Amino acid sequence: MITAEVNVQHTEGASLWSDAWRRLAQNRMAVFATFIFAVILLLCLMGPTLFGQHSSEANDLSKAFNKPSTTHWFGTDDLGRDVFVRTLEGGRISLAVGFLATAVSLVIGVVYGSIAGYAGGRIDSFMMRIVDILYSLPFTIFVILLMVMFGRNFILLFVAIGFVEWLTMARIVRAQIMALKETEFVEAARALGYGDIRIIFGHLFPNILGPVIIYASLTVPAVMLLEAVLSFLGLGVQPPMSSWGLLIKDGAEKIDVYPWLLIFPALFFSATLFSLNFIGDGLRDALDPKSSKD
Amino acid sequence: MALLEIDNLKTWFHTRNGVVKAVDDISFTVEKGEILGIVGESGSGKSVTVHTLMGLVPQPPGRIEGGTATFDETDLLGASPEAQRALRGKRIAMIFQDPMTSLNPYLRISEQLIEPLLIHGLADRGTALNKAVAMLEKVGIRDAAERVHSYPHEFSGGMRQRVMIAMALITDPEVLIADEPTTALDVTVQAQILRLLKELQADLGVSVIFITHDLGVIAELADRVVVMYRGHIVEQGDVLSIFDQPQHPYTKGLLACRPRLESKFKVLPTVSDYLDETEVDGQVELSEKPDAAAHIESLQQVADPEIDENDLLLEVSGLQVHFPERAGFFSAPKGVVKAVDGISFTVPRGSTLGLVGESGCGKTTTGRAILNLVAPTEGSVQFDGREIAGFDAAAMLPLRKRMQIIFQDPYSSLNPRLTIEQALTEPMAVHGIGQHHAERRDRAAALLDEVGLDARFLRRYPHEFSGGQRQRICVARALSLEPEFIVCDEAVSAMDVSVQAQVLNLLKELQLRRNLTYIFISHDLSVVKFMADTMAVMEGGRIIEQGRAEEIYANPTEAYTRGLIDAIPRDSVSFIRERVE
């Protein structure tokens, strides 16, 4: 019976994740999007240091509203600051807020939703009523309340946004888990003596990755926009710090005369969103063995 | 001129992996007022054939590569979309396999019934509604005038299939296409639906194309039979000659692989016992195995294993499982559903107990309760002399190795995101079988080999397998823990008869080799009789009759058991001869 050994040499590392990685690498659109996103990310991280001679602190009113040129690639703004460096600096904030808040909402939402959906019954009812109550809190008032209590704080912004975004994630995850836990492979897992944690995170979770990833990739831009709204209300990022949301808002006011103030931050913002969407789609397909092309 | 004439029809699918010739050059006719049975296994092209006629083949990837289909002098395939729509649902109607999903759950039955009449402009609302009520009465739904306003969920599966039939017949079509309309139903309900179809056909004079994988159903119903295999028609003729003198080895195999109540087979013949497939220049040639007859003869000689009736592995007494009915979060339970209501039985080591009954009789809950997958409300379950009823997950853990379960639906009982290797090695890892992953993987490969699959399949995902292969994988997964006892919960009910025979043989073979003890749960008495040594008939949560399987079959004392036996499609030549004449 052990003669079967010969046939199974190439099984090393045959798991969902390694197979997903292989499939993702075959998806040209996703690879291209990943490349674009990596470039933007690197620029935002390194750029302000590399192009430090045009610091955003360096106000020079004599250079206000210069058109894009070889010294100032993206032109300058009303205070004579380099728009290129401003865009990269804004990117740091936007990406940080976007990803940290999404990560917070993802972790809380998935764990909370999985437990509620898997436990079912009274535990589920109780947990979901808490979510309903939190949903009913007006978001802006909630943030103002936090600001009043803890003072204005950058980190608080992530927490506040993540705290609101996880509610929807929890509902999505719960609904998916509830539908899945009735399937026979879950019952088979229980009959095989698997523990609840193993069933939830080893068996159910991989099956809901599709909708989770799609929702997460929609959360990132939503969070970035939310940050812009908060900043506009004076609750978020304050000058001289900036973010894409703020830059776009400022630029939009002067679009008739100084279009470069809007165009360049908006370009970075939309390129990021586009690439994130493609990466999200690619991940969803890659994590579904049925979409395999081989 | 026949009512419907199909000539050299070819429907191919152009997929990434090449061309699939789902229907390849087939010709047949349907006469006015006859019942034509198309029989074949999944993938034989029988469904694609009628989907082509109904314009339901998705294009692309599907493409009609050639041939004609003439209905009452109209070219079905070449007609304009408007002309085709005018025919479909009006003069040619169709009913589908799964009555649970083919009705819209949000619309009242009345709305769905009158829709075809309104769409084709055959009646105004008032007359249509009257006609709907009359039609419901015709398909045997009582109090039709009131029930016509119900929603689909208020009907059982059999009732819904009746509604589907009413919906298809409401426009007085000339051809009714029935695509496996009874496959998702219990045998008893199937028998009712078949009787109804026969009556309606005689009454309305409609031609019926009845598609099924089960020759037994054909024997009950059809005037003529078309046997399909791999996109071709291998044989066609009138029903008596197909059953009396089948010519093609595939037809012979299909006829033989059905477990019969009167037959003495200990191992079921399968299609591959008859059929040789050799590939010649990329074309598959079908021929009959030369030694088929002798081989089938030898299958009847297999001896029964010795069973010591006093060596009990499982003793169940007074088992009850009640579920509370709850209306809302804060309200007290309204009442209880007594799914299992005090049953007792014993299973000797190495034997099979068959649990048989209709849906909702409590047989599935019984299986779950023995394994503590649902908590028993009361009663005792002794496994190998030890009381285990009500054990929690931790206490059950060491016993999971010894007691396993195989489920009905091989499509949902494997996690689609795990490779076969992961599915087979994870149970071993959880229970500490094998030192390291490589050792567990070798064991998994050996298990695949044991259930008749290639060890190279380890790297694949469940969706790459057919239903029968998946069920073999489920069997391998259950065996990965080396259990002594397996509950087979409708393990073959979702399968084609030809695949069912293979899986049943596998289960029997494993039982002999590993001295396994089974509880075999099914709604189909013929399958239970083939598998089981002793049998318990369940109705309404209670066992109403139990004893040796052959004795119950020979002398059923309860009317309910009698009904289960009568519901099995009769396919003896003498029965068909009588029916045809």
- Whether B379 contacts B316, CB under 8 Å: yes
Q: Does B494 touch chain A (CB under 8 A)?
A: no
Chain A nearest C-alpha distance from B168 (Å): 32
Determine the length of chain B.
581
How far is the C-alpha of B476 from the C-alpha of B448, rounded, in Å? 6
Distance from CA of A117 to the nearest CA of B (A): 16
Q: Distance between the two ends of chain B, CA-based, in angstroms? A: 25
Q: What is the largest CA-CA distance in chain B?
A: 74
pLDDT in tens, B211-270: 998 888 888 888 899 999 888 898 998 888 888 888 888 888 888 888 877 666 777 888
To 5 degrees, how large is the angle CA A39–CA A44–CA A45? 100
Percentage, residues of chain A above pLDDT 70:
82
- Indicate whether B76 pLDDT > 90: no
Alpha carbons B236 and B251: distance in angstroms, whole number: 10
Burial of A241 (C-beta count, 10 Å sphere; 0-12/13-18/19+): middle
Contact B477/A4, CB-based, under 8 Å?
no
Of B501, B416, B404, the C-alpha closest to B465 is B416
Which residues 357-396 of chain B have a CB within 8 Å of chain A?
Answer: 368, 371, 373, 393, 396
**Chain B partners within 8 Å of A192 (Cβ):** 400, 404, 426-427, 430, 477, 481
d(CA B218, CA B223): 9
Residue in B232, B266, B278, B279 with CA at minimum distance from that of residue B251 = B232
Angle, helices A16-26/A28-50, rounded to nearest 10 degrees: 90
Predicted pLDDT at A55? 59
**Mean pLDDT of the region B418-441:** 90
Test B481 with A192 for CB contact under 8 angstroms. Answer: yes
Could you give the CA distance from residue B571 to residue B563 in angstroms, rounded to a whole number? 17
Q: Over 50: is that where the pLDDT of A13 sits?
A: no
CB-based contact B544:B537 (threshold 8 Å):
yes
- What's the whole-number mean pLDDT along residues B155-164? 82
Higher pLDDT, A156 or B313: B313
Confidence band of B353 (pLDDT split at 50, 70, 90): very high
Q: Binning pLDDT at 50, 70 and 90, where does residue B161 land?
A: confident
Interval B370-408: pLDDT, tens: 999 888 999 999 998 889 888 888 888 889 989 999 988
Q: Between vectors from CA B9 to CA B7 and to CA B14, what angle results, nearest 5°?
A: 170
Q: What is the DSSP string of B4-45?
A: EEEEEEEEEEEETTEEEEEEEEEEEEE-TT-EEEEE--TTSS
Chain B nearest-CA distance from A72, in A, is 51
What does pLDDT average to over chain B?
85
For the stretch A216-234, pLDDT in tens is: 888 887 888 788 777 777 7
Distances (CA, A) of B140 to B127, B147, B189, B206: 20, 12, 13, 18
Joined tokens for residue B538: 């369940």
- Tell me: pLDDT of A14 over 60: no
Q: How far, in Å, CA of B456 to CA of B453, rounded?
A: 9
pLDDT at B477: 92
Residue A5: its pLDDT value, please?
35
Asked whether the beta carbons of residue B446 and residue A2 sit closer than 8 angstroms, the reply is yes
pLDDT higher than 90, residue B553:
no
Q: What are phi and psi of A30, to 5 degrees?
A: -70, -40
Which of A4, A207, A293 has its CB closest to that of B445?
A: A4
Number of Cβ atoms within 10 Å of the Cβ of B137: 15
Ranges assigned E (strand) in B300-423? 312-325, 335-348, 352-356, 378-383, 386-387, 403-406
Residues B456, A8: C-beta atoms closer than 8 Å: yes
- Residue pair B194/B182 in contact (Cβ under 8 Å)? The answer is yes
Compute CA B294 distance to the chain's CA centroid, rounded to the nearest angstrom.
Answer: 30
Count of CB atoms within 10 A of residue A264's CB? 21
- Measure A224 CA to nearest chain B CA, in Å: 32
CB of B356 closer than 8 Å to CB of B537: yes
Name the residue among B545, B518, B530 with its Cα closest to residue B307. B518
pLDDT given for residue A11 in this prediction: 39
Lowest mean pLDDT among A28-32, A201-205, A228-232, B460-464: A228-232
Nearest chain A residue (CA) to B463: A290
Write the DSSP symbol of residue A293.
-
Alpha-carbon distance of B92 to B50, in angstroms, equals: 11
Assigned token pair, B403: 């007691």
Contact A184 B408 (CB under 8 A): yes
> Which pLDDT belongs to residue B324?
80
HEC profile of A197-215: HHHHHHHHHHHHHHHHHHH
pTM: predicted TM-score of the whole model, two decimal places: 0.79
The encoded tokens of residue B78 equal: 């070449």
Query: Is the Cβ of B514 closer than 8 Å to some Cβ of chain A?
Result: no
Average pLDDT of the segment spanning B523-544: 89
**CB nearest B412 (choices: A4, A14, A184):** A184
Q: How confident is the model at residue B328 (pLDDT cuts 50, 70, 90)?
A: low
Looking up tokens 């010795």 gives B306
b/e for A115-145, b at 16 or more Cβ within 10 A? bbbbbeeeebeebbeebeeeeeeeeeeebee
Q: Is B88 or B235 the better-scoring residue by pLDDT? A: B235
ipTM of predicted assembly, 2 dp: 0.75
Burial class (CB in 10 A: 0-12, 13-18, 19+), A3: exposed
CA distances from B496 to A63, A164, B42, B215, B468 (A): 81, 51, 7, 10, 9
Tell me what pLDDT residue A8 has.
37
The 3-class SS string of A68-104 reads: CCCCCCCCECCCCCEHHHHHHHHHHHHHHHHHHHHHH
User: How many alpha carbons fall within 13 Å on the CB side of residue B218?
Assistant: 31
DSSP B136-163: HHHTT-TTHHHHTTS-GGGS-HHHHHHH
For residue B407, give the nearest of A10, A16, A187 by CB distance.
Answer: A187
> pLDDT value at position A294?
42
pLDDT value, residue A4: 35
Beta bridge partners of B93: B176
Please tell me the predicted confidence (pLDDT) of residue A216.
87
pLDDT at position A291: 66
Residue A214 has φ and ψ, to the nearest 5°, of -60, -45
Instruction: Tell me whether residues B430 and A191 touch, CB distance under 8 A.
Output: no
Which residue has 């740091």 as its token pair?
A92
How far A289 CA lies from chain B's nearest CA (Å)? Answer: 6
> What pLDDT does B167 receive?
86
Percent of chain B with pLDDT over 70: 96
Q: Do residue A7 and residue B456 have CB atoms under 8 angstroms apart?
A: yes
Neighbouring C-beta atoms of residue A206, cutoff 10 Å: 19
SS3 (DSSP) at B318 = strand
- What do you get for the CA distance between the two ends of chain A, in Å? 29
What's residue A7's pLDDT? 36
How far is B415 from chain A, CA to nearest CA, in Å?
Answer: 6
Which of B575 and B534 is assigned the larger pLDDT?
A: B534
Half-sphere exposure of B118 (CA within 13 A, CB side): 13
Q: For residue B332, what pLDDT is reported?
A: 64
Inter-chain contacts counted by CB atoms under 8 A, chains A and B = 119
Show the beta-strand stretches assigned E in B191-297.
207-212, 224-229, 232-238, 275-280, 283-288
pLDDT above 80 (res A68): no
